[in-house]
């Protein structure tokens, strides 16, 4: 598995996560990788909450986001979880605040466990991208 995944998996197990260039680089690589996986699978998943202000104000969401006006594309973004916002994408993982980045990294094991289950339930676990998600779940939760 790629070094940035190993780095994020290790960081997700720490009590205190240092927010530095290495973490930002790893989150950027994760964002790019998940965009490809999400586009191939097209399985929506509302993941863990990563709220700073209010506990459930933001969530990690995989779906076709309209990140650019009138150009929806599949990816994982940090989205507003308030009902009126309809999970509007607000940040890529690497674009979140320092405090939220720590919450995102801590939530990665739960994110991948849930995303892998959503992929299984959608009947896409046998695809190449489905297998990648299941491997990520293994690395974050059993590695």
Per-residue pLDDT of 60-103, as tens digits, reads 999 999 877 788 899 999 999 888 888 999 999 999 999 999 99
Per residue in 37-51, pLDDT (tens digit) is 999 999 999 999 998
Query: What number of other Cβ atoms are within 10 A of residue 16's Cβ?
Result: 6
pLDDT at residue 114, rounded to an integer? 98
Q: Cα(132)–Cα(14) distance, rounded to whole angstroms?
A: 24
pLDDT at 143 over 80: no
pTM here?
A: 0.94
Q: Cα(50)–Cα(81) distance, rounded to whole angstroms?
A: 10
Paired tokens of 63? 């779906």
Paired tokens of 65? 């986001």
Per residue in 2-42, pLDDT (tens digit) is 799 999 999 999 999 999 999 999 999 999 999 999 999 99
Bridge partners for 73 per DSSP = 65
């Amino acid at each position: 598995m790629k070094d940035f995944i190993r780095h994020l998996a290790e960081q997700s197990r720490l009590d205190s996560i240092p927010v530095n260039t290495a973490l930002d680089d790893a989150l950027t690589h994760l964002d790019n990788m998940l965009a490809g996986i999400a586009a191939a699978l097209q399985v929506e998943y509302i993941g863990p909450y990563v709220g700073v202000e209010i506990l459930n104000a933001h969530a990690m969401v995989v779906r076709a986001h309209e990140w650019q006006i009138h150009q929806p594309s599949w990816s994982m973004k940090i989205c507003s979880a308030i009902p009126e916002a309809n999970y509007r994408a607000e940040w890529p993982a690497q674009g979140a605040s320092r405090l939220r980045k720590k919450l995102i990294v801590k939530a990665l094991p739960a994110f991948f466990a849930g995303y892998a289950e959503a992929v299984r339930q959608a009947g896409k676990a046998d695809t190449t991208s489905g297998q990648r998600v299941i491997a990520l779940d293994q690395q974050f939760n059993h590695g």
